[in-house]
Structure 1
């Protein structure tokens, strides 16, 4: 996560917040009071409905629409961050697993999550932070030895059975992997291929058929 987070006050002007976002290359800013308590977020999305852009109401199809025309009137014209920000903020704690962070960002279609400690903002975790985790990852080393490779493949296939309709047969001899069976879709076949390649590398003997194909 990013710890040195630039924030704005609810009394700051919308134009001040917009300049900070442009200068810092960020798409959103936490809004905090004088004690550091998180009050909301102001984002690029909040500014897309501004009167300066010719907007005077909710964006059709937008994620955050209001049924109150007066509220949308205020949000499109007020100069105060407090009137424009999104007060309903999804947050995480410092010890939130990265899997849950990714899930929240994806499900809610948001770009960042404030990170809290004892009710106070200590950082922001964003999609870019998750990309850093992905980019730092490396493929697992190939397993050596026929028996070890077969056991490793079968173990990983078993772990993936929630995604597969049935498990294929796996034989390994003289370093050559042979996989055979029938699956319901090409996606299942791709999942099996990915698992086998993660253990033995590419080039194995794939005899997996898809149901219904001639």
Structure 2
């Protein structure tokens, strides 16, 4: 079995110039935890993960044992939470997307898929043709469906 037999073809995507707001709306509407990022021709550029849109704990400077929530280099608390709507509406995907996610080739074996997706704990990995075109995406859910005989 090869990656092309497991992948979800023609996945929903976002582009590098689209706003975080538009990409987040698409993720929420379809219950997705992330989207591949492509250029105008459909060539793969990276991945936008929901984790990239949420605050994460960071050490407060000068108090290394104290954590606070931070997002886009801003501290997040109950008074500032609504300020992020404006940021989401203006910040392009390219400023936040991940480009270090490894890709799969359509001919990669199931073993390669498992090694990359499971052992590296990625939630989704793009399947990309030699010319850089995004062909599909493989998620943990795709692997679970395969193991349950539903693919």
TM over 0.5, yes or no?
yes
Partner of 1:112: 124
SS in 1 for 2:37: strand
Which of the two has greater helix per residue?
1
Q: Matched residues in 2 for 1:97 and 1:60: separation?
A: 39
CA drift at 1:60: 4.7
CA drift at 1:99: 1.8
Partner of 1:31: 37
Q: Matched residues in 2 for 1:129 and 1:89: separation?
A: 18
CA drift at 1:98: 1.2
Q: Matched residues in 1 for 2:115 and 2:100: separation?
A: 18
Q: Matched residues in 2 for 1:59 and 1:117: separation?
A: 37
SS in 2 for 1:136: coil
Q: Given the alignment of the two structures, is residue 127 of structure 1 paired with residue 140 of structure 2, yes or no?
A: yes
Which of the two has greater strand per residue?
2
Matches within 5 A, 1:102-181: 102-118=114-130, 119-136=132-149
Structure with bigger gyration radius: 1
Seen in structure 2, the aligned counterparts of structure 1 residues 37 and 4 have a Cα distance that, compared at 3 Å, is closer
Partner of 2:110: 98
CA drift at 1:35: 2.0
Instruction: Kindly report structure 1 stretches of 4+ aligned residues shifted beyond 6 Å.
Output: none
Q: Matched residues in 2 for 1:86 and 1:29: separation?
A: 10
Q: Matched residues in 2 for 1:59 and 1:48: separation?
A: 10
1:91-148 deviations in Å (ceiling 9; x for gaps): 10111111221121122211111001122110001111111121119xxxxxxxxxxx
CA drift at 1:40: 1.0
SS in 1 for 2:35: strand
Which structure exhibits the higher relative contact order, with contacts defined as CA atoms closer than 8 Å and separated by 6 or more residues? 2
Q: TM-score, normalised by structure 2?
A: 0.70
Structure 2 gap segments, 5+ residues each: 1-6, 60-71, 75-83
Q: Given the alignment of the two structures, is residue 15 of structure 1 paired with residue 21 of structure 2, yes or no?
A: yes
Q: Matched residues in 2 for 1:60 and 1:101: separation?
A: 33
Aligned residues: 119
Partner of 1:73: 73
